[in-house]
Structure 1
């Protein structure tokens, strides 16, 4: 089953796993040591992250290492970007409006 990246980042544990392996690969034991949940629960999170294409598990000898594949987060970034642009435009309009109000209020103060 192919899951989407939004499902992967919806869970704080999965986000933390991504943060942990973003800069260096870690073996699964190292990942599980950082959480107060069962090893089976971490395996389930890793499976979801793998199905979403955000991590890859590689076998090296007897160890299995988790490696981040963060290209999939570009989908999230693109989705967020459209809303960031909208909010920037709204905030820019608000700034213009507030400056107009300020200049009107300064004009009113000089008349009194």
Structure 2
């Protein structure tokens, strides 16, 4: 039985799609309406709306109501959470790879000494 997806899981799932990443790039410059977000894409407004629903469910964007407009807003804190997770794991893998590099250099150095080189 799989546990319920976390906010991080839904954020990574949302970020897996190139259209959604492009939408986030647009929103990084400021709030935008669905029509404004749809302009660069060769897809219908309902298709863009589906992408926005995924981004909203993941917490990466929010939508507010301003008269008849519902501008989308990038939730930087949620994106920062994804970046923090990546940075934490990058550090772990950097340390592991550094240790592996040291180990391989030690092995190579030992072989060179046995060969008389």
Q: Give the TM-score of the pair, scaled to structure 1.
A: 0.74
**1:46-85 pair list within 5 angstroms:** 46-85=52-91
Residue 23 of structure 2 is aligned to residue 10 of structure 1: no
Query: 1:41 offset after TM fit, Å?
Result: 0.6
**1:92-107 pair list within 5 angstroms:** 92-97=98-103, 99-100=105-106
Q: How many residues align?
A: 110
Query: 1:28 offset after TM fit, Å?
Result: 1.5
Q: Which structure has the highest strand share of the two?
A: 1
Poorly superposed stretches of 4+, deviation over 3 Å: 97-109
Query: 1:103 offset after TM fit, Å?
Result: 5.8
Query: 1:40 offset after TM fit, Å?
Result: 0.4
Residue 36 of structure 2 is aligned to residue 30 of structure 1: yes
1:44-95 deviations in Å (ceiling 9; x for gaps): 1111211222112223333321111121124423432343122211221244
Higher-Rg structure is: 1
Name the stretch that deviates more: 59-68 or 92-101: 92-101
**What is the CA–CA distance in structure 2 between the aligned matches of 1:25 and 1:74, rounded to whole Å?**
18
Structure 1 gaps, min length 5: none
**What is the CA–CA distance in structure 1 between the aligned matches of 2:87 and 2:97, rounded to whole Å?**
15
